[in-house]
Amino acid sequence: MGIDKFREHIYAHPTYTVTFKDVDGLSVGSPVRLMGKQVGNIVKLELYESEIYVTFRIAKKNTIIPDGSIASIQFTGLAGSRSLEIMPQKRKFLTNNKIIYSQEPIRISSLMQVQTTIFENLLEFCRGMLTFLSKNSIDSTKKNLQTTSEYMKESNQSMDGALKNIKESGSDISKNTKEIKQFMNEQNKNLDSAYKSFNKLSKDQKLKNNMNTIQTTVENLSATTDTASKKVSEVTGNLNNFNSNVKNFNQKVSKVKNRELEYVSEINNSIQKTTDNMQGFIDGLNKNINKKPAEEKTKN
């Protein structure tokens, strides 16, 4: 019965769980303080993946932890013991007020690293200042400042000259501007009159009728031209076919003429040969006839 009452007494107190990535020496039994007042203690530390779940119990009665409070790990004495400190929000900047937020502890090594970085940057700054304040750097800076001063003087003189030229040419610019405005006004008037004339012409019924007639005539002429073009194309095609037929006929006639000429040439050659043979035969006969009287005379 006593154990059961003790358990009821223990489990009657509320418990909370906060997650940290580094508990920095916090252990089971470490005190839990609310705004500096001890209200409970740590009952469990569980490591899960890359976080540590810290479970604590509120032992003091009628203790209410404000919504959205921030839990952090702090020193509690010279021996280096740790405690879980809970502080309410100073400003309502956290969105979910139903949980307790954790603030990661800062180790001394991290502070030393930050201080080392600060001192290194300060040392680098001092070296840069020493280089800047050296004699050569000062002389170079003076020279640059002097050059800049001379350049500024020249620029001021150039600006004075430009202002003077602007003042002198101001009257001419004003005159030219007036002339340009006058010219633009005249052009606007001309455009207005042209616009009015076009409006009048567009409202003239006779002009509209004439334009419609011209449009109809042009359309008819276009249709006639298309028809004539088609007929010309047909005639041209027929002429091309006729010329092609004539050309083929001439080629055939030429072939026939060539064959006839070949036949005539062969006949002429044959006649010539026959004539030559007849002439040879006649000449032979004449020779024989002439030889016989001579032989008879010789015998007598």
What is the pLDDT at residue 42? Answer: 92
* Average pLDDT over every residue of 60-87: 82
Whether residue 8 is predicted with pLDDT greater than 50 in this model: the reply is: no
Among 54-58, 110-114, 218-222, name the one with the lowest average pLDDT. 110-114
Structural domain boundaries of the chain? 2-105, 106-168
Residue 39: count of CB within 10 angstroms of its CB: 19
What is the pLDDT at residue 55? Answer: 92
| Residue with the larger pLDDT of the pair 242 and 88 | 88
Q: Tell me the C-alpha distance between 212 and 208, whole Å.
A: 6
Whether residue 127 is predicted with pLDDT greater than 90 in this model: the reply is: no
Among 19-23, 34-38, 103-107, 295-299, name the one with the lowest average pLDDT. 295-299
What is the pLDDT at residue 262? Answer: 73
Helix, coil or strand: residue 204? coil
pLDDT band at 62 (very low <50, low <70, confident <90, very high): confident
| Residue with the larger pLDDT of the pair 93 and 123 | 123
pLDDT band at 46 (very low <50, low <70, confident <90, very high): very high
pLDDT, one tens digit per residue, over 162-211 is 677 666 665 665 666 666 667 667 766 766 666 666 566 666 676 667 66
Q: Which is it for the CA torsion 149, 150, 151, 153, positive or negative? A: positive
The structure tokens listed for 2 are 């006593």
Query: What share of the chain has pLDDT > 70, as a percent?
Result: 51
pLDDT band at 1 (very low <50, low <70, confident <90, very high): very low
pLDDT band at 112 (very low <50, low <70, confident <90, very high): low
Query: What share of the chain has pLDDT > 90, as a percent?
Result: 7
Residue 35: partners with Cβ closer than 8 Å, 6 or more residues away: 86, 87, 88
Which pTM value belongs to this model?
0.35
Q: Please give, one letter per residue, the 3-state secondary structure of 73-118.
A: EEECCCCCCEEEEEECCCCCCCCCCCCCEEECCCCHHHHHHHHHHH
Q: Which is it for the CA torsion 73, 76, 78, 80, positive or negative? A: negative
Whether residue 53 is predicted with pLDDT greater than 90 in this model: the reply is: yes
Whether residue 150 is predicted with pLDDT greater than 90 in this model: the reply is: no
What is the pLDDT at residue 4? Answer: 43
Among 41-50, 127-136, 279-288, name the one with the lowest average pLDDT. 127-136
| Residue with the larger pLDDT of the pair 51 and 272 | 51
Q: What is the mean pLDDT of the chain?
A: 72
Q: Which is it for the CA torsion 119, 124, 125, 126, positive or negative? A: positive
